[in-house]
Structures are given as structure tokens and as C-alpha cells.
Amino acid sequence: MTVAELQKTANEIRKGIIKATHAAKSGHPGGSLSSADMFAYLYFEEMNIDPENPKMEDRDRFVLSKGHVAPGLYSTLAERGFFPKEDLLTLRHIDSYLQGHPDMKKIPGVDMSSGSLGQGISAAVGMAVAAKLQGKDYRTYTLLGDGEIQEGQVWEAAMSAGFRKLDNLVVIVDNNGLQIDGKVDDVCSPYPIDTKFEAFNFNVINIDGHNFDEIADALKKAKECKGKPTAIIMKTVKGKGVSFMENQVGWHGSAPNDEQCEQALNELEKVGC
Amino acid sequence: MADVKKIATRESYGNALAELGKENPNVVVLDADLAAATKTGVFKKEFPERHIDCGIAECNMVGMGAGLAASGMIPFVSTFAMFAAGRAYEQVRNGVGYPHLNVKIGATHGGISVGEDGATHQCCEDVALMRTIPGMTVIVPSDDVEAKAVVKAAAELDGPVYMRFGRLAVPVINDTADYKFEIGKGTVLREGTDVTIIANGLCVGESLEAAEKLAADGINAKVINMATVKPLDDELVIAAAKETGKVVTVEEHSVIGGLGSAVCDVLSEKAPTPVLKLGVQDVFGHSGPAVELIKEFGLDSEGIYKSVKAFV
């Protein structure tokens, strides 16, 4: 895909996030929007996956450790053809398979159930270890929030991944700077993030998480790096793409009303895609 | 019982894993710096590449187990009951139970027979915690023979299993020709008509001895080994309760939420019967030799005998 095509895809993913959370009247648009560009690149360029065969044995794995941005993952999976896009409107509804947080038993394309923060990365480490044990070359990707890394288990997992030299594992941190209670560095600062992962023997790459060239380059370097897992720390804007949501902590976990939904979709339409 | 062979079920766990490792290349064993105590070292020696020491990080270990299971392996996650069911409860609940992953939890050092380490390490709540997780199978084997059979059965079952093993060497009681373990099935070890004693873990052997003492007093106790607490053998519990009219449960666990509660859950709904729950009576344990603690908590044959006699 060209950068323009990737931008168009990410924009479609963002529209799905807005429509889904609007229909659900709840959910987490802020972190979904900040991750949308990475989602687009992973699912449309990077990962070896097959929407027709979601359980393909040697597929690359993805674990959404920041499980609350399920709308971002679901919109991406729908855009990629794992399930119908119109199903996004059933998000969080009582008769829907699209649970509030990812459910691997119900949702095609979801490789691990997640939602309780700090736990997904451990499962991703387990998957990477499994690939090594089985002599398989699939890769495992996991996306964490910058607030999420306050969880101690993240560092248990990081220590384990670094120690085991899991070069088939990519840990991505969505550094949008905000968590429920405010700025991450006001609540309980995780900074510096990069040197923490470096200290756990990771290959660390800092990027702008809205720049596709940088995303592509980082994931390429991750593949080339042998003997170490890679951590990509991506600086992002929470709520990216919707003016009134950008950098606003209130949009971490609240849904747009009718008017806000319309405005958000209008803005995303104007991006020209 | 000096002439009876004794072995701790944690030893059986390690030995069974080593055997299983030969049969199934997908079996992988995880530990958290306690391989020497959980006895998985036997497996590690034979299959070093399939033994993963996660260090002192139980929550991550359970999560790794989930990832391994999701990738087709059969992980046996091993640590003390306190840390497997206690510290990592939420990881077991959300990471293993909710997606119903094929993770086997080998929890050693269950109950007060941990002994000298004291209350911080004597987990008497694990069965209660694990029982509450939908789809979780919970098994407390009574001796070496059963513990090995449980490990094998757990490997064959597709789904999460919590197995509780003990630190203390206990007599082998199931080395009979017709012994067969089946998940969800209790075993009648002794027939009787006056009272039913339902026990698991090391309390089974003690209950059998207690039944002999009761017999000398003219009380015929039926003794059931109920290794699987979940799913419980409802049918056997109900039939025995109806037959004997009184039930005593015996477990090395809190009387809140464990085998006694599981039995009461069934009987209160389907066959109301007076039940006496023997176990740890809503208190913490303390340091001391395991055998003496078992005695102090009334879970040795003499204690069980006295409690049952007073109840009947």
C-alpha cells in the first residue's frame, strides 16, 4: 500500500471507531483513534494473516494488551474483512459477539482475550516462546497503553522477553500521554519509557505513531533485529483525527452523542478519503 | 502405618510430568523459581528445552501459559497454591478461565501441611477461589497413585484444570488393581450405612483410619474419596446422603468455599441432609511440623473420629 492508501485505510478505521462507540453509547474512542495508524499498518501491510482463515496455524499473532481500545481493533478487523463492517454498530450490545473487551472465543481475528491491563503482554510472550519451541517463524505483536505500563506485570513480562531473547516479539507502546485520571506524567509517570525497555534488553525504537514511513521502518528494523525483542514507543495524539477529541482526557472512555458523531464523521470525510 | 509407602503428591506431580513429557511433545512446564519444591526438576532434567523457569513472577507465568496454550502447547504452570490461586487469581480468571484455555495449574504446597513456613504460605482458600471460575476443573488428589493419574487425565482434557498437591509425604492408599481415576467421579473406598465421610487430599487416608476406629465403636461409616471438587460427583453425593442420612466432609482447606461447601451446595438443593464440615475453621494457620498441625486442626484420624462420633 502507498502511504496515501494507508492513510485512507486508517481513516476508514477511525470512522468505524466513531460509529461503533456512538452506537454502543460507551467505549473507548481516544486510545482507539491514537492507535489507528498502527492498526492499519499491522493489519494491511505487516502481519501474515488471512481473514478467510482467522485461525491459520502459522499466522502472525496480535494481542491487544490495552484491551479497552477494542473499538480500534474491531474496526480494523472489519475493514480487513474478518467480519461485516455493519456489525460494528452492535458493539457492546447484549446480543452481539463484539464484547466490550476482546474475546478470542467469539470474535474472528482476535488471538487473545484481554482487557485487564498488564496481562496481554504476558500472553504475547507465551506465544513468542511457543513459536520458538515449535520452530515456527510466525511473529507476535502486542499493543500496550502508556498508562498500562504502570502495571507491574508488564515489567515481569518485559524481563522475561528480554532474558529469553524473543526476537519474534514486538511490543508497541501507544504513548498518547493520557490515562483516565489525567496526564500519565501527572498520575504516575512512566517516563522515560524507552530506557526502561532498553534496561530489560529490548531493541527500542522511538517513532511518531502517525507517520507511516516511521512505522514501516520501525517494524522492518524489528524484523532485522536478532537476539532481542523490539519495543516500539510511538508518540501519538489521543483522539487523533477528530478535532474535539484530540488530547482531551475526557474522550478516553466516553462515546460521542449524535451531534458529536456527525461532526467527527464530517471531519474524517474531509480528510478526503 | 510405618510399613506403608509414603510419598508427597508434589513428588508425584513431578514424576508424572516427566512421563507425560515423553508421550507428548506439546507438554511444557513453567515454574517460578520453585522447581526444586514443586518437583518439576525431574521434568527439567529430561526436557530442559521444554522447562521454562519464569523467575519469581507468577502473574507473568500464568499469562505466558495462556499464550502457550493459545499456540497449541499444553502448559503446566507450577508454583505454590498460595501464588497460583492467590497472587495470580485474576490472571487465572481472565487470562485462562475466561478464554477457557488449555492451561494446567499444578499448585503444590496446598493447605496447612506446608508446616513450618507458616500462615503466609499455607493456602487454605485456593479451592474456593478456583471453584468460582466458570469452566475450571478443580482436583485434589489423595496420594501418589491418584496424583499421577490426575496429571494424565488433566493433560487429556481440553480446558483449564487446577490441581492441588501437598508438601507432606502421605500414605499410598490407591494402589489397588481396580483403581481408576476419572475427572468428576468420586470413589467409594469403604461401605457404611450410619454416616458418609467425604474427603479429599491427605484427609482421605486419615478418614479411612477414622472409619476403622468408628467401626470399633459400632459406627459404620461410608468413606468417599472426592478428588474432583469441580465438577462435583453430585449423583454419588446425593445417593450417599440418602443412604446414610448424615454427611461429614473433611478437607485440608477452609470450610468456606471448598469441598464442604460444594457438597452442601448440592445437598441443600437436591437432598437436604445434616452436614458437618471438617477443615480449617475460618482461621489462619501457623508454623509447626505438618503432622502436628494436622492434628491440631482436627484433621488426623483421631480428630476426625472424635468429630464424627459426636456428630452421629
**Residue that wins the pLDDT comparison between B4 and A177:** A177
Please indicate whether, in this complex, the C-beta atoms of A112 and B67 are within 8 angstroms of each other.
Answer: yes
Q: For A123, name the nearest residue in chain B, comparing CA atoms only.
A: B67
Mean per-residue pLDDT, A69-97? 98
CATH number for the domain running over B6-171: 3.40.50.970
Q: Which of B114, B107, B141, B147 is nearest to B15 (CA)?
A: B147
- Whole-number Å distance between alpha carbons of A127 and A142: 11
Q: What is the pLDDT of residues B111-153, one digit of tens each?
A: 999 999 999 999 999 999 999 999 999 999 999 999 999 999 9
pLDDT given at position A271: 79
Provide the number of CB pairs (under 8 Å) joining chain A to chain B.
109
Judge whether B99 is closer than 8 Å to chain A, CB to CB.
yes
* Chain mean pLDDT for chain A: 97
The DSSP letter of residue A99 is -
Which of A103, A123, A163 has its CB closest to that of B67? A123
**CATH architecture entry for B187-307:** 3-Layer(aba) Sandwich (3.40)
Cβ contact B13:B35 at 8 Å: no
**Known catalytic residue at B58:** yes
Full-model pTM: 0.96
Single-letter residue type at B88 = A
Cβ contact B107:B165 at 8 Å: yes
DSSP SS3 for B166: coil
Query: Which residues in chain B are closer than 8 Å to A64, comparing Cβ atoms?
Result: none
- Whole-number Å distance between alpha carbons of A141 and A170: 5
What are the b/e assignments for A166-192, b being 16+ CB within 10 Å?
bbbbbbbbbbbbbbeeeebeeeeebee
Q: What is the pLDDT of residues A118-166, one digit of tens each?
A: 999 999 999 999 999 999 999 999 999 999 999 999 999 999 999 999 9
Single-letter residue type at B53 = D
Query: Which residues in chain B are closer than 8 Å to A111, comparing Cβ atoms?
Result: 70
Query: Which residues in chain A are closer than 8 Å to B53, comparing Cβ atoms?
Result: none
Query: Which residues in chain A are closer than 8 Å to B67, comparing Cβ atoms?
Result: 63, 112, 122-130, 140
Q: Quick count: other Cβ atoms within 10 Å of Cβ B135?
A: 14
Query: Which residues in chain B are closer than 8 Å to A124, comparing Cβ atoms?
Result: 67
DSSP SS3 for A43: helix
Q: Quick count: other Cβ atoms within 10 Å of Cβ B269?
A: 10
Q: For A106, name the nearest residue in chain B, comparing CA atoms only.
A: B99
Q: Which helix (H) or strand (E) holds A63?
A: strand A61-64
> How far separated are the first and last CA of chain A, in Å rounded?
14
Q: Which of A19, A10, A2 is nearest to A39 (CA)?
A: A10
Percent of chain B with pLDDT over 90: 98
Please indicate whether, in this complex, the C-beta atoms of B60 and A157 are within 8 angstroms of each other.
Answer: yes
Q: Which of A60, A82, A88, A70 is nearest to A27 (CA)?
A: A70
State yes or no: pLDDT of B197 exceeds 60. yes
Mean per-residue pLDDT, A252-263? 97
Mean per-residue pLDDT, B60-66? 98
The DSSP letter of residue B141 is -
Domain ranges in chain B are 6-171, 187-307
Q: For A104, name the nearest residue in chain B, comparing CA atoms only.
A: B99
Would you tell me which residues 48-87 of chain B have a C-beta closer than 8 angstroms to some C-beta of chain A? 49-50, 52, 54-55, 57, 59-73, 75
Matching residue, cell 480468571: B93
The domains located in chain A, with CATH, are 3-270 (3.40.50.970)
- Spell out where chain B has E strands: 6-8, 27-31, 51-53, 74-80, 104-108, 137-139, 161-164, 169-171, 187-190, 195-199, 221-225, 228-230, 247-254, 275-280
Q: Quick count: other Cβ atoms within 10 Å of Cβ B152?
A: 14
State yes or no: pLDDT of B1 exceeds 90. no
Q: For B73, name the nearest residue in chain A, comparing CA atoms only.
A: A130
Would you say the CATH fold of B187-307 matches that of B6-171?
Answer: yes
Mean per-residue pLDDT, A34-54? 98
Cell for B23?
Answer: 508421550
Distance from the Cα of A134 to chain B's closest Cα (Å) equals 9
ipTM of this model? 0.94
